[in-house]
A and B are shown apart, each in its own frame.
Chain A
Amino acid sequence: MKSRVLFTIMTAGILLLSCKSETKLTQYSAIYQEQPATIYIAPLNDFAMRHIMREMDDSLYNNSVSTAAMQLYLTAAAPLTVNGYYVPGPLVSAQIAASETRTGKQLRSDNINDYYTDLGIDAILFIDLVGWTQTTNAWTVEVEYILRSTHSNSELMNVHVNATKHLITDYKGNPQPLPEDIDFAEKFGCDLETAQRCRLVETLNNFVLKDLPTGKRARQHKTERYISSHPEFFYLRIKKDGSVEMLNNPEL
């Protein structure tokens, strides 16, 4: 009996130790140190646009991808706001971006202290849409999130995600939309392919940006420091039933 209990305890211990991941305090130590209150989302850097420039005639695909990119940009604010940060809305952000003379690449490397001194913004979130890949029953999008401080010009967060959405296929192997996708398409007046892409990027934004430490406005501010956080690079799998699964290795 004793040996059995010991064996169970040992196994549980090994399992717990193997499951241990980094806490938010270690993963986002720079954010806890600087405690930004206002985050401005810079215009999206869409690498998929290169494909659009090459294939000008494929308007269906191009419209779908560009709408999904816009949705990726627009839905990034909601999880940050829920986490207690002040995020300027899309129209205000557009006004800020219109008065900016530097390119996106320069903003990522240059001194951006003027955003703090002139606009009172503490950090800038850069979103890179690396690209889309598509198989018969899955959409995959690769996105990189970079959060840069306007006080110290240092990177507060850098997360690279490869998200895949698995689709239900019919007996011929054609992908079938979920009821939620149909609702989205009806609501936004777009085709089903665009709806599926838009819902994928929205889920991705929610999953990645809700993991950030809570801001000063949130009630949970600093209470979630020892909760485990996401790694800097991971694969996200959105299953057929809509549940989300995080993987370090896509083959698992």
Chain B
Amino acid sequence: MKKMRNTLYVFALVVLTGCSGRYVGLPSEQVLRYQTTPTYGNLYTLATAYAQTINNALRADTLHPGMYADYGVALALLGHEKEACYMLNTEMAAFPESKGTVERIKKKLLPVMQYNDYVPPRDTIDMQQLSAWALVPNEAARFIPNAASIIDSTDTARIRQQNPVDSIQMPIKLTANQKREKLAYEQAEAERQKQARIDSIADVKKAQAAEKKKAKAQRKEAAKAKEKAKKEADKEKIRIAEEREKKREEEKQQRAAQQNEAKKQRAAEQEAQKKQREAERELQKQQRAAEQEALKKQREAERELQKQQRAAEQEAQKKQREAERELQKQQRAAEQEALRQQREAEKAAAVDSTQTNQQ
């Protein structure tokens, strides 16, 4: 069941990776060959390879940016100015980012802009008509077909027909001698590898056995060393514990002595503080007594003053009252005199009247 699942996963992975679009890159062999040895023949081979790669890329629907421009440059260097112009224009149309670069290159390589409206023939360009055809070196001539196709971007249908360029192949033909040498070399190599494998297996077995022995001895030594180290560590632990105990005792004693001293000091300080407080209290008491005495005297003097004032007031009131009484007495005496005189006058009148009456 597990195996089935695993195979299914692998199958799915393979299918998915297969679906993810094929990337058609630069014709790397030809580019490298031209860059390392920039000859006219290599340039021609590169141009042909570009044409083929562009065709393949269009079929696979994945176009490498810059491919048209590179092909255009190659064509321009080969003397195909019309086709170069067309290719550079196609690059600009397909990849607008390239406009600045390609226009600059176009100005440099094709100073006269007279091919802007040129569209190449539908299928092929006859490469035999190249003006510089005669310059192609002999060794490059075997890579060049009779007619190299130029890509046709106007045709949108997927063309699957055989292209003349597709048929270009560069088989590595070996001579009979080379074949024999190669075969002999391969056989010798196979034997050498076989012997090496056998040797290496024996060596490995020996090495493994030696390593095992070594490892065993090392393990024993390590165990002994471990036990020794354990005993030493135990002894060390006990010694350290005793030392710690001693230290703790000493520290305890020191702490007790320190505490006693601190207690004594604290008691002395408290005594001194008490005495100081008492002296302060005495002083305060004396001050308070003196203040009270002064207050008493002041109050007594005030009372005396008040008494004298009151006595003076009473005297004055007495005198006033006596004067009033005198006045009242005099008034009353005057009133009584007047009344008496009145009564005497009345009596005299009454006597007169009676006398008259009697008469």
Is B196 located at the chain interface by the 8 A CB criterion?
yes
Are A74 and B73 interface neighbours, CB within 8 A?
A: no
Q: What are 28 residue pairs bridging A and B, where the CB atoms are less than 8 Å apart in the complex?
A: A38-B98, A67-B32, A74-B35, A75-B28, A77-B66, A86-B98, A87-B65, A87-B66, A88-B66, A88-B69, A89-B26, A89-B69, A91-B46, A91-B69, A91-B73, A92-B102, A95-B105, A95-B109, A96-B105, A99-B108, A119-B100, A120-B100, A121-B101, A171-B192, A186-B172, A187-B29, A188-B32, A217-B65
| Nearest B residue (CB) for A170 | B196
Closest B residue by C-beta to A98: B108
Q: How far apart are B303's CB and chain A's nearest CB, in angstroms?
A: 94
A217 to B25, CA, bound (A): 17
Residue in A closest to B172 when the chains form the complex, CB atoms = A186
Interface check A71, CB cutoff 8 A: yes
What is the distance, in angstroms, from B198's C-beta to the closest C-beta of chain A?
10
Interface of B is mostly: helix
Q: Tell me the nearest residue of chain B to A169, going by C-beta.
A: B196
Q: How large is the interface on A (under 10, 10 to 19, 20 to 34, 35 or more residues)?
A: 35 or more
Kindly identify, within residues 24 to 41 of chain B, every residue whose CB is under 8 Å from any CB belonging to chain A: 25-26, 28-29, 31-33, 35-36
Contact B196 A171 (CB under 8 A): yes
When distances are taken between beta carbons in the complex, the residues of chain B under 8 Å from A40 are: 101
Q: Assess A120 versus B66: contact at CB under 8 Å? Given A67-B32, A171-B196.
A: no
Q: Looking at the assembled complex, report how far the CB atom of B84 sits from the nearest CB atom of chain A, in whole angstroms.
A: 11
Residues of B within 8 A of A119 (CB): 100-101, 104
Q: Nearest-CB distance from B88 to chain A (Å)?
A: 9
B101–A66 CB distance below 8 A? no
**When the two chains form their complex, are residues A120 and B65 in contact, meaning their CB atoms are under 8 A apart?**
no
Contacts of B7-32 to chain A: CB distance below 8 A: 23, 25-26, 28-29, 31-32
The answer to whether B36 and A118 touch across the interface, beta carbons within 8 angstroms, is no
Do residues A92 and B101 form an inter-chain contact, with CB atoms below 8 A? yes
Closest-by-CB residue of A relative to B70 is A89
CB contacts (< 8 Å) of A187 on chain B: these are 29
* Residues on A with beta carbons closer than 8 Å to the beta carbon of B70: 89-92
Would you give the shortest CB distance from B226 to chain A, in whole angstroms?
28
Given contact pairs A74-B32, A74-B35, A89 touches B67 in the complex (Cβ within 8 A): yes
Binding site for A on B (CB under 8 A): 23, 25-26, 28-29, 31-33, 35-36, 46, 64-67, 69-70, 73-74, 77, 95, 97-102, 104-105, 108-109, 172, 192-193, 195-196, 199-200
Choose among B36, B99, B108 the residue that contacts A70 (Cβ–Cβ < 8 A). Answer: B36
Say whether, besides A92-B66, A171-B200, A70 and B26 are in contact (CB < 8 Å). no
Q: Could you list 8 further interchain pairs (A-B, Cβ under 8 angstroms) beyond the known A86-B95, A119-B100?
A: A38-B100, A78-B25, A78-B26, A82-B23, A89-B73, A121-B100, A171-B195, A188-B32
Q: Is A214 an interface residue (CB 8 A)?
A: no
Say which residue of A66, A77, A86 sits within 8 Å of B26 (CB atoms): A77
A81 beta carbon closer than 8 Å to chain B: yes
Chain B residues contacting A89 (CB-CB under 8 Å) are: 26, 66-67, 69-70, 73
Q: Does A25 contact B (CB under 8 A)?
A: no
A128 to chain B, nearest CB (A): 18
Q: Are A95 and B31 neighbours in the complex by a CB distance under 8 Å?
A: no
Q: Which residues of A contact B29 (CB under 8 A)?
A: 187-188
Q: Which residues of A contact B97 (CB under 8 A)?
A: 37-38, 86, 120
Q: Which residues from chain A sit less than 8 Å from chain B, CB to CB? A: 37-38, 40, 66-67, 70-71, 73-75, 77-78, 81-82, 86-92, 95-96, 99, 118-121, 170-171, 186-189, 217
The distance from the CB of A127 to the nearest CB of chain B, in whole angstroms, is 14
Q: A71 is contacted by which of B32, B65, B67, B109 (Cβ under 8 Å)?
A: B32
CB closest residue in chain A, given B203: A171
The distance in angstroms between the C-alpha atoms of A87 and B196, with both chains bound, is 48
B193–chain A nearest beta-carbon distance, Å? 7
CA–CA, A67 to B105, complex, Å? 27
Chain B: minimal CB distance from A2 (Å) = 32
Also in contact, A70 and B69, with CB within 8 A (given A75-B28, A88-B101): no
Cα separation A199 to B166 with both chains bound (whole Å): 26
User: Which chain B residues lie closer than 8 Å to A75 at the CB level?
Assistant: 28
Q: Which residue of B32, B73, B99 has the most chain A CB atoms within 10 A of its CB atom? A: B32
| B254 CB, min distance to chain A CBs, angstroms | 45
CB distance from A76 to the nearest CB of B (A): 11
Give the CA-CA distance A73 to B34 in the complex, in Å: 13
Contacts of B195 in A (CB 8 A): 171
Choose one: A86, A88, A96, A171; the contact of B199 (CB below 8 Å): A171
- Residue of B at shortest CB range from A121? B101
Residue of B nearest to A40 (CB): B101
B196-A120 in contact (CB<8A): no
Alpha-carbon distance between A89 and B35 when the two chains are bound, in angstroms: 12
A124→B350 CA distance, assembly (Å):
168
